[in-house]
Amino acid sequence: MARDSSYCTPFRRRREGKTDYKARKAFLLSGKPRLVSRTSINNIQAQIVIAKPAGDEVLVSAHSRELKMYGWKAPRGNLPAAYLTGLLCGLKAKAKGVSEAILDIGLYPPSKGARVFAVLSGVLDAKVNVPHSEEKLPGEGRLKGEHIAKYAEHLRSTPEEYQSKFSEYLREKVQPEALPKHVVQVKSDMMAAFKTGGSKK
């Protein structure tokens, strides 16, 4: 609420909690592409965009739905899916000659080990240079889904709860206890696809 004549109403997107204009100005002044990651309960999206006078231009984009083309059968909104989506985005970027970017997480709090940093881990593994703090990245075990596999092992003694928690895995005939092996296989297939000529799109 205005208190005096010097009060200035914030821009609409700032009022709606969508844009931090101070941070965006810093990104624009850097002149570098931005790695933008957005997550929902069921999906992950990663894009590398660059600012142009007419608006942002998307250089490359990856969505967790695309992981199915590389054999992914597990849910698309978990930490391993975020990592693989980031890897796919990074591989697409390298294929288009994009070798560096800066991370733009918007207004999300930079929580250690969050899915947005799993996306970043994937992009880094694709050899795209993105300045970052190592302490924010999830551990290798979590990127592979070892925490999910251990939880599944723990629940095997209670079949009803096991079926309830991992119904999506079981429907796709993926044993949650074997998720780390599944992640490694999908990553290997994805890397091989790009070595032999690019993505499967």
Higher pLDDT, 179 or 197: 179
pLDDT number for residue 85: 98
Residue 163 corresponds to which amino acid?
Q
Secondary structure of residue 19 in the 3-state scheme: coil
What integer pLDDT is reported at residue 18 of this predicted model?
Answer: 52
In the predicted structure, residue 201 carries a pLDDT above the cut 80:
no
Does residue 64 carry a pLDDT above 80? yes
| Segment 32-41, tens digit of pLDDT | 899 999 999 9
Cβ atoms of 169 and 62 within 8 Å: the answer is no
* The pLDDT value given to residue 72: 98
User: Of residues 29 and 114, which shows the higher confidence score?
Assistant: 114
Report the pLDDT averaged over residues 178-192: 97
What DSSP line would sit under 114-182, residue for residue?
A: -HHHHHHHHHHHTT-B----GGGSPPHHHHHTHHHHHHHHHHTTSHHHHHHHTHHHHHTT--GGGHHHH
Q: What is the pLDDT of residue 193?
A: 95
| DSSP code at position 188 | H
Quick one: pLDDT at residue 21?
Answer: 53
Per-residue pLDDT at 98 exceeds 70: yes
d(C-alpha 55, C-alpha 176), whole Å: 42
Is 4's pLDDT higher than 90?
no
Other CB atoms within 10 Å distance of the CB of residue 193: 16
Per-residue pLDDT at 32: 87
Residue-wise pLDDT for 117-168, tens only, equals 999 999 999 999 999 999 999 999 999 999 999 999 999 999 999 999 999 9
Instruction: Give the amino acid at 129.
Output: N
22 closest CA partner among 96, 92, 93, 107: 107
> What value does the mean pLDDT of the chain take?
88
Q: What is the pLDDT of residue 51?
A: 82
pLDDT at position 24: 56
